[in-house]
Every structure is written in structure tokens, then in C-alpha cells.
Amino acid sequence: MRDNSFSLINRIYNSTTVLDFGALFSDGTPQFVSPAEPMPGDNVTITFRTARSNVDTVIFVSENERFEMRLTHCDKIFDYYTIEIQKVRRRFTYHFEVHSGRLVVNYNRAGCCREINPDFDFTIVPGFVTPDWAKGAVFYQIYVDRFCNGDKSNDVLTDEYSYLGQHVKKVDDWYKLPDSMDVGNFYGGDLQGVINKLDYLKDLGIDVIYFNPIFVSPSNHKYDIQDYDHIDPHYGKIVDDSGDLLPWETNDNTRASKYINRVTNSVNLEASNMLFIRLVEEAHRRGIKVILDGVFNHCGSFNKWLDKELIYDQNPEYKKGAYISEDSPYRSFFRFNNENEWPNNNSYNGWWGHDTLPKLNYEESEKLHDYIMKIGKKWVSPPFNADGWRLDVAADLGYTEEYNHRFWRDFRKAVKSANPDAIILAEHYGNPRSWLQGDEWDTIMNYGAFMEPITWFLTGVEKHSDEFRGDLLGNAEVFEGSMRTYMSCMLYNSLYVSMNELSNHDHSRFLTRTNHRVGRIHTLGPDAANENVNKGIFREAVVFQMTWPGAPTIYYGDEVGLCGWTDPDSRRTYPWGREDTELLKFHKVMIKIHKKYASLRTGSLKFLHGEYKCIAYGRFNYEEAVVVVLNNDYTEKNLKLHVRELGVHNKKNMKRVILTTEEGFTRDDQANVVYDNVLSVTVPPVSASVYVCKLVSG
């Protein structure tokens, strides 16, 4: 990665020219591609930037075709070369070839290079548009059972039913830490609780709520969906609460009449759907979007299509489940390995072998395919009006890769036909490139180009807290390489709406990772997750989150210092009344900074500096430049940053708008004047700092 003298050591001398590598730049943002999201038939203008009078020729290279670009305009620092591509109708890739004297340099998303790796070429897909509201939006993830209990009358009751062979429990102490086996423990969080806290979220600066699953399901995580058509009444409304608890001596859920009535009675189901409608209306009234968790790879063994627990069997309003009857209308929804076991056929395929998570059999059931397409449309349409879907284990859906892609292409068409402004955001680990070609997902939960690199760099701890890697802690070269590699897997409009999380329900809390310990709740106990955490490192991570390309996503409670090992400990309750108010204040300040400067939401990105435990990068557009420095070392750093590469002129003032340390943070608006094209700054140990400059046009 670049050191302090990047622009100097990367100038290559020959007989006629000194090539300024730091000035060479292009990307997919609106200042370099116009329109940035073209429709089929549009003309597209592509721009490449060089230093003034510094190169002889810039060649646009696209799929073995070569075109010389025209020098069309300049300012005091840069020349701008452009080319207009006429009536674009198909996907194409491109890179640039820069000629300066005898020197020839290639440029793509990897930066300057001698040999081109086509995986890093720029890509334009006409007709692929991601929602403008999501670009740089601040998301907030809510695990509903643990956020806020707004209606105690709908709480899951102890002994209401049995799950995984044990009676479920109502947890009366909101502040009790999760058990190591926690799936059947319920704290009572619900949608009314979210409605009660919408003003809190608005004041925090949230633009979008992402809900973990809220449909009828027997677990507290609800990734084992029982009924895709209805909100779980335990999160919604219970109007008719007749029936009895499950007798303590049995796990036979046919005797759990209170549970059966609560989750199958249409009065309760429709009232719960109505409450969701109200929640969305209240959120939208505050300018907050709502996206739902779509679990379509598998359902739950309680699901009415399978009905292994016989929850629906005695209700004439429901048809027989496929577990019970070979003649079930849902027989094709599941793949059974033994055709001779009915009734009560337990030979169905479970996702990863879990019989509580039966895998859905789309390849052999067009009826199932069509049903889920209707579900995808239903919840983003009136009267529900959700603003999109987060897709659980999206790459696992189906039994073949070919079918998986077919399904997501169909799903995109269905959802976008109902709500063109809805977002389709997938959970994905690894390379998402084949799903992000413009006809399937909009974007992803950004593990590869966000959570993992920053976790390794700042803490050296794997995202589950299962491993410590000293060789990755503070390794700036690996950090930049990982970021470039995984960002190149996404089109720019996917990147700028990607979900950038530090923590979530599947991984340890980031604040816990700052203790550099390896552990889980069953190995070290829950209290150890709170010990020796470093809020200074956490503040660095939040500054990074609010200044990096994408949609910063706060996992509920992170903003007030919630700790926890990986699932289930990361699913602690929001500590109402016990918040870390300084961390909350800090999050509000950083969200305001994120929203104040447009370059932090949709601007270009440029790496400026990297050394052990210290990185710096810039975000910029034509109007402003922002410099971010993270110093994770325990020593002070004196840095010289070549901000001319961001368009900053000499003698311009770059105002420091925030400085974080281990002790806290300050907003002192310190002035830093640029001399000799360099911003010279001294940054304290374990700190993050943000500097801003309004640019001079022309």
C-alpha cells in the first residue's frame, strides 16, 4: 500500500515526461460516468482524469476495441479526457490505457497496472438501477424480540408450546443475558415496541429499518418460517387469546391449544398484518424506509405446508401438510427421500441436515415458485408497502446454481414490477459477482469489502471471535488488497447501496472484538464479552463505517455500547435505561457528518496512505474533498497526505470536523492548511480524524 511519499515514488521518469500516477483516476460515480445508471438506448459519457499537460494520449479499451479519448476540459490541477458511447444497449466492460512519452500504463479498478486483470475492469449495465434512497442511507437492523416490548399481552408465555424438544420460556428480566441454548427463550420485543421507538430512531438519524424475520415462526430468530402470509401475532396483535398452555409433562404440540389459536386464528393474523401496515405508515411519515427479511431457501418444520407439529391439522381452514399426507397440495414443495413413509414422512431434506429447516424444492414445484413470487410482490405492494427485501442465504436457494440464478432473475422481475423502488439485498459470503450483473440482486450484505477487512485491520479478530490473526492486525497492505478485490466484484451502484455492518445477529459484537479475545458464550461465559473492550478502537470503526462507500448499518444496541460473543450472545436486549450515552452522542454526530457531506454518500474513493496500523483515504466529488485517517497504533503519527489527488489546491484549509481517541471525541473544527500539495497532520494514538475542504471549481 502507499506510503507517505506515494505521489513521488510512483512517478516514473523517462526522457520526456514525469507521469503523475496519483492524478490518474476514474470510477463509476456520476462525475466520471454520465448517466451513472444509463437506460438501454442512452448515450453514456465516460471521463478519465490526469494531471494537467501530463500525458500524450488516453485510450479507451472495451472488449478488444480501442478508441482515443478527447481532452475536453481542465481545471487548475487536472485534465479530463472523455468519450461518448452511443446508444448503449448491452453490458460492456472497459479500462484505460495511458500513454506518456515512452511509458504506457493501464488503469482499471485495481488502479495503475502493467498487466490487465479483466476481473478489475469497469462495467456498465444499461437498465440496472438501484434505489437512490438507499445510496449511502443509514440502516438500522432490529432483531425484534430483543429491541423493545411495547405490548405485553402478546408475549410468548412459558410452556406455550414446545420447540426442539423443550418448552419455550418467557424471560421476565429484560436485562438477563442470553443462555448458550437460547432459541426458545423470548423477551417480548414486538412491533409496537418499534413503533414506540420510531422517534428515537429518527433522532439518531436512521433512514432505513431492516427487520430480522417477523413472519409467523416458532423460534425467537424466526428463520424457520411457519406462514409467509402473516406477521407473527407474538410481534403483532392477539385479539382472541383462548386456549391452554402445553402441559408440562408433554412435548406434543397438538395439545398447545393457546399457541395454535394465537398463530392460526385469522382474527389474530389479520390484526397483526394491520399493525405492520401501521408501523410502515408511521415509519414513512418520519422519512424512514422498512425492509423485510426473506427466508426463501428453507422454511420451518412448523410451516403450514409441511405441518410436522400438526399445528394446522385439525383446522378445516387449512389444507393437509406434506408431512402428514402424500396427497397434500404442498407435496411437491419438499423433496422426500422415502416415498413409503406416509403418513408422517420424516424423510424430507433439511437445510444442512436440520430437520427444523426443511429445504424448499423449487426445481420440482412451479407452484412453489409462483407462490414465493407472489409473496415477494405482496409485501412491497399496498397496503403493506415495505421498501424491499434482505434475502437470507440467497446463494443456497435451489439445488443447482443454474436454477438459483433463474429464481433470482424471476424474483427481481416480480418485486420490481410491484415496486420499482424496492431494494433487493442478499446475504452472501465470498464472491457475489455472478449475482450482481444487473438482473438479480441489487446488492449484498457487505462482508468481503467491509466487515471482514476492517475487523481484521482494527482488531485482528475474526468476525465470530473464533480466531485471532496477529499477521492481519494493522496490516494495511492486506486491508487495501481485500477492499479492492471485493469492491471490484460489485458494480458501482451495487457498492453504494451495500449493507456495511460492524456487527449483526450472526456474529460477535464489534465492541467485543476490540478485546482481542477468542471465545464464545459457552467457552468463556457472557461476562467476558464485556471485559477489556476498547471504545477508542470501536470509535475508529464507526468513523470508518460512516465514511466508507456503502450504506452504514447499525445493529441495534451497538450505538449504546452493547457487547456480546457470536450468536446467541450477540442477540442481547437493547439496554433501555442503561445506555452508554457518550457512545450514543458520538453515533449521532458521525451520522450527521455522514449526511452533511455528499461525497461520503456518493463520492469517489481514493487510498492515500498505508502503514502498520495506520491508513488514510479520501472521498471526493467536484464540490468537496474529505480525508479520513485511522491510527490504530499506540504511538502518535505524523502524516503527509497528498490531497492534491483529491482536487485540493495549495493554501486551502482542510477543517478537522471530528477527532476520536481512547478517551472520547471532540469537534473542534481545527484548521489545517495545505502546503506544497500536502496535508500535514499529527494524529494521536488509537484515533480517527476527518478533514473536510470545499473545492474550488475551474
Contact indicator for 686, 634 with CB cutoff of 8 Å: yes
Nearest to 145, CA basis, from 78, 213, 241:
213
- CA 256 and chain centroid, separation: 38
d(CA 324, CA 272): 28
DSSP state of 177: P
Where would I find the beta strands (DSSP E) of 286-419? 289-294, 388-391
Contact indicator for 35, 42 with CB cutoff of 8 Å: yes
d(CA 224, CA 357): 6
d(CA 438, CA 570): 34
User: If residue 273 lies in a helix (H) or strand (E), which one and from where to where?
Assistant: helix 266-285
d(CA 564, CA 543): 21
- CA distance to 106, 156, 223, 393, 507, per residue, from 570 (Å): 45, 21, 16, 19, 7
d(CA 98, CA 126): 26
Where would I find the beta strands (DSSP E) of 278-417? 289-294, 388-391
Out of 151, 427, 559, 611, the active site residue is: 427
332 grid coordinates: 411437491
3-class DSSP assignment, residue 272: helix
As a 3-state breakdown, the chain gives helix, strand, coil percent values, each rounded to 5, of 30, 25, 45
3-class DSSP assignment, residue 402: helix
Q: How many helices (H) and strands (E) does the chain have?
A: 15, 35
442 grid coordinates: 441489487
Known catalytic residue at 427: yes
Out of 145, 392, 442, 559, the active site residue is: 392
d(CA 99, CA 95): 13
642 grid coordinates: 497528498
- CA distance to 25, 545, 627, per residue, from 692 (Å): 20, 17, 6
Quick one: CA dihedral 602, 642, 501, 411, positive or negative? positive
d(CA 400, CA 304): 26
Residue 591, strand partner residues: none
3-class DSSP assignment, residue 96: strand
Known catalytic residue at 75: no
d(CA 393, CA 391): 7
Q: What is the amino acid identity at position 195?
A: I
d(CA 688, CA 536): 9
Which residue is associated with the grid cell 410452556? 159
Residues annotated catalytic, as ranges: 392, 427
